[in-house]
Amino acid sequence: MSKHLDRNISYHNWVRQIEKDVLGKVSYKVAPDNLQTDVQFIFHSVDHVTINEKEQVMAISGRYCMIWRDPHITWDPAKYNNLDTLHVGSYDVWTPRIIVLNGISGVYSHLDAPVTRVKLFVPPFRANEPAFVISCPRYTGRVGCSLGKRKEFW
């Protein structure tokens, strides 16, 4: 059991070292660069949908995932005990703001994600390439929708 605990302590020390060396130099408020950042956006699950016909509102809750590469976040796993994956708080890295065109809060309202954990991943055998950032927060959104009654023709 002692060896198992030593491995865990060692693992956490390596994680803290990467956080200090890499994330300590990154501003979570600044987008990865001045160029466009491609973000894969996937609705992972929809847990609940409610529709209010009178108010013409649909409420949706569930989880979505976003995946992108951040050129400011990179490390050589060989220098960190071959550690190529980290789980950190979403406040430690830049995350995109999602704009909902027909959100109830107004046109172009933001889908604010709660603080969550994100996964940082450096591809194997590609030291010092930009890390993949994977974020899968929960969401709850209300959108306006047209629920006009269908006219039946006899």
| pLDDT tens per residue, range 125-152 | 777 788 999 998 888 777 777 776 655 5
The ranges assigned to domains in the chain are 2-144
3-state secondary structure of 33: coil
| DSSP symbols for 95-113 | -PPEEETTBTTSTTEEEPP
Cβ–Cβ under 8 Å, residues 83 and 18: yes
pLDDT band at residue 1, thresholds of 50, 70 and 90? very low
| Residue 77 CB neighbours (<10 A) | 19
| pLDDT tens per residue, range 16-45 | 999 999 988 877 777 766 678 888 988 877
Tell if the pTM clears 0.75, that is, is over it. Answer: no
Class of domain 2-144 (CATH, top level): mainly beta
Gap between the Cα atoms of 154 and 151, Å rounded: 10
| pLDDT tens per residue, range 48-100 | 788 888 888 888 888 888 999 988 899 999 899 889 999 988 888 888 877 77
Gap between the Cα atoms of 93 and 100, Å rounded: 22
